Structure 1
């Protein structure tokens, strides 16, 4: 083992920056067509002169490179440093700009939030409105990155100096005016780590309302659909409306449940959403005002961790027109989310709820992030954020996951990647 008391025996680990806080610094900005080896060539040239690197950031948009370096030149070597960077940049067909100053970057303010904007399409007018509202809030946009190009265009703003709840309310106005979806969530460590994601099923995980599929076998689909619509708008008590709808199923053979299971259609992006969340180590759950006879099979098929739904009473191979046990209503969905979080040893702040109807409102409120998915107006108004495109995997972007990351993971394990879905005009 090296003797650390002997300076000559082994190099000591690098400590904090040796440059004083008021040291002379040089901001180097390089731009032009990107190509392999640009960063290597520049740092090789800088190394020959000698300089301390305080910060570096690079972005490439459609092949155009912008590279920014904050350096501390060795005393007396400022002019030489500029000369070698200019020479290398010119050889690479790049332009270089220099700005002398003192000290490091100003410390980032507290109040860090992530603002995610989804549009199909995402128009410049919407981005202008969002950035203006952030500025009016007194916050600063520190970084911007694109999360997806399809099926929607998604951009994430890394913002400091903001209050989550206030900025969320302010940007909700721009969302309504400009027809884009906007999510505001705490950034930093709050955006990382394991989460519990709880989804509604009917008209969220799947495109159908199971009760209506069942009612069609009784010739009562239109009647039941009207009651369902009123209940989802919050105009009827959910438990009572469920009893009314289930009553029309009396006498149906239990075999219709197999037919309905085969008929349900997953929402576009549902498999991708669940698969990606599971890869991240997240816990995924479904809670439904529908029926466990259908929901349970869906959960097993998608490898969902928890499922809770109502249970139909079956006697002598036929539906009785009643449900058994506690009804999973609006309050029941919130209780289920709390129960799942407790089982997974996760605080409610690390939960996400997704739903579309009034019976999802308590669950959306309890969750750390409540997402209204193609929801009724009363739900969009009260949820933390909304997704109004018909792709359930768009929820991934609200969590800061990029489309490229999803596709790379699919390619790594051989999962076929769906053909690009064109954003609706």
Structure 2
């Protein structure tokens, strides 16, 4: 790992990188069933079928991300936050293998070495804040649904997907002129994480996305700032 005398940042994707599940969809199912019972189960199936159709039609991931959050329109932020806390408590208490242990161990080792941890995800704060506390992340860059009068509007600011992750990493690096990108690490599992991974000196692929591995192997090395 980096020399302890040289500060560095570790950026980590979340879904299927730090945890084994897709948090947005797992929570969508959880909260709909908790709020609406059988009708919530049916609504979940309708939403996910529509998302699969968009994905099959090659809709951009950022567009799908926006579509997902449109289904929170008029839902109370307080309700979602409460349910998200319940979801996290239940999943971490009863779901075997909630974390990808290799990633969690690596992040803990980085923290012990003095690194700053940053979560970068298309998910949203109620799901990510408990995870950030668990791993000791200092910051979260994520999709943030817009809120009006305590309720979600169904719209988002900027999806943190693909190039949105690149922008998030660049923003974090700009705030830390003492950090050399060449000393930094990033963890991701999908080719959509490439814009984030290619900015650092130590990209780590979690899982078996061969396209991501191949494209990383062809990338230019990040320019060192010092």
Question: What TM-score comes out, normalization by structure 2 length?
Answer: 0.71
Q: How does 1:260-279 map to 2 (within 5 A)?
A: 260-262=87-89, 263=91, 265-279=98-112
Q: Does 1:227 align with 2:54?
A: no
SS at match of 1:290: coil
Over residues 246-281 of structure 1, what are the superposed CA-to-partner deviations in whole Å (9 max), with x where a residue is unaligned?
223445542432333333632224442222111111
Which of 1 and 2 has greater Rg? 1
Check whether the contact 1:199–1:285 (CA below 8 A) recurs between aligned residues.
yes
Specify which of 203, 227, 237 is matched with residue 60 of structure 2.
237
Shift of 1:319: 4.1
Question: For the aligned residues, what is the CA RMSD?
Answer: 3.1
Where does residue 162 of structure 2 map in the other structure? 330
Shift of 1:373: 0.9
Alpha-carbon distance change, 286 to 276 in structure 1, aligned in 2, over 3 angstroms: same
Shift of 1:230: 7.7
Where does residue 64 of structure 1 map in the other structure? none
- Which has the larger share of helix? 2
Q: How does 1:185-200 map to 2 (within 5 A)?
A: 192-193=3-4, 194=6, 195-200=8-13
Specify which of 83, 98, 109 is matched with residue 256 of structure 1.
83
- Which has the larger share of strand? 1
Question: What TM-score comes out, normalization by structure 1 length?
Answer: 0.40
Relative contact order higher in (CA < 8 Å, ≥ 6 apart): 2
SS at match of 2:173: helix
Specify which of 2, 7, 23 is matched with residue 210 of structure 1.
23
Q: How does 1:40-119 map to 2 (within 5 A)?
A: none
SS at match of 1:322: strand
Provide the aligned length of Structure 1 versus Structure 2: 194
Unaligned runs of 5+ in 2: 33-39, 93-97, 219-226
Specify which of 110, 135, 144 is matched with residue 311 of structure 1.
144
